[in-house]
Amino acid sequence: MKTHARHTLCATIGGLSTLALSIMAANVQAAQEVSLGHTLSSSSHYAVGAKAFKETLEKLSDGAFTVTEHPSGALGGEREMIEGLQIGTVDIVITSTGPLGNFVPETYVLDLPFLFENYDQARCVLDSELGDELLEKMADHDLAGLAWSENGFRHLTNNERAVTSPDDAEGLRVRTMENEVHQEAFRQLGARPTPMAFPELFTALQQGTVDGQENPITVIVATNFWEVQDHLSLTGHVYSPAVVLGSPLLLDGLSDEEREWFREAARASAEATRAEVSRLEEEGVALLEERGMTVQTDIDIAPFQEAVEPAYQIFTDQHGSEMLERIQEKAGSC
């Protein structure tokens, strides 16, 4: 009898623990892992955005989704990651518009040099119905545009000389993003544009494959480019938007409510990233000077603007002028 009772008890405990384990397993299974990739380091403005995305999505979904960040180009460059979204090997990507025009040509308009005058204007246009329209266009190209985020105004760095005029840029081998509008602008400037994926850039600068590159202050700081570049010129020659993109292969399978959580998480991510860009903009220049870069702050941008002007005609010949005009009009009223 005693033995029987013990057996029954053991069986009950055994049964309970099996039950408990299967409940736990069910919970683990219910939490769906979402991968998020970007090219910048974990001290960057994209990492700040990734954290906000993770916190917001995990909170809104009450833990049903967990986000794993893959920074520093661990999943490849931005072009590769965008391809990854289309085939479902990554779920969320924070990327500049650098290679995006190769997939969604409608976004090339945003890459025109000197399109926006300042951060407020760029943010105002991207947050308007025009920004929404461009986000929606992405669905036609197997991408889900979730929110406009920010990379920042791009400035030129190089190892040859202090650049203060277009003449100084003549002949410089400048790494550009894999973006035809940017490449054209640098050709017009008289430089030799060399498109390259971001994860290859540090080594290319170190080995002298290229003389220079251009990126926002936040990127120059977060990637330690001051270690391999001597001169910084605050040209602010183009505003570099970033965008939070999702894989339709994930998002199309979700409920409306779930999809809205992803959108909200993307908006929170963009807001946090923009705040970090603003914070680092001035602080970053001082830091780069401290680290030994010579910084040209007082740059007359009019001759640069004039030099790259033909890029606009080349752009409109290929892509039309309608969206450009609407953006310029909107920017004027921002």
Name the segment binding ligand EAX (CB under 6 A); options: 80-88, 94-102, 258-266, 325-333.
Answer: 94-102
Name the segment binding ligand EAX (CB under 6 A); options: 22-30, 64-72, 95-103, 250-258.
Answer: 95-103
d(CA 41, CA 161): 28
Nearer to ligand EAX, 93 or 135 (CB): 93
Nearer to ligand EAX, 91 or 111 (CB): 111
Name the segment binding ligand EAX (CB under 6 A); options: 23-31, 92-100, 271-279, 296-304.
Answer: 92-100
- Of 108, 121, 175, 120, the closest CA to residue 312 belongs to 108
Name the segment binding ligand EAX (CB under 6 A); options: 90-98, 137-145, 243-251, 283-291.
Answer: 90-98
Per-position b or e across 67-103, b if 16+ CB within 10 A of its CB: bebbbbbebbbbbbbbbbbbeebbbbbbbbbbbbbbb
Nearer to ligand EAX, 164 or 240 (CB): 240
Binding residues for ligand EAX restricted to 22-81, rule: CB under 6 A: 39-40, 78
E strand or H helix at 174, and its extent? strand 173-176
215 binds ligand EAX (CB under 6 A): yes
d(CA 273, CA 283): 16
Nearer to ligand EAX, 40 or 130 (CB): 40
Q: Are 217 and 152 in contact (CB under 8 A)?
A: yes
Chain centroid offset of residue 160 CA: 28
- Please give the size of the binding site for ligand EAX, defined by CB under 6 A: 12
Q: Give min distance, CB of 154 to ligand EAX, in A.
A: 7
Residue 55, classed as helix, strand or coil, is helix
151 binds ligand EAX (CB under 6 A): yes
d(CA 171, CA 129): 40
Q: Give min distance, CB of 151 to ligand EAX, in A.
A: 5
Query: What token pair was written down for 326?
Result: 């609407």
Residue 127, classed as helix, strand or coil, is coil
d(CA 299, CA 231): 13
* Per-residue binding letters, 168-207, with ligand EAX (x by CB under 6 A): ---------x--------------------x---------
Q: Are 157 and 220 in contact (CB under 8 A)?
A: yes
* Per-residue binding letters, 258-297, with ligand EAX (x by CB under 6 A): ----------------------------------------
d(CA 257, CA 250): 14
Question: What residues line the site for ligand EAX (CB under 6 A)?
Answer: 39-40, 78, 95-96, 98, 151, 177, 198, 215, 219, 240
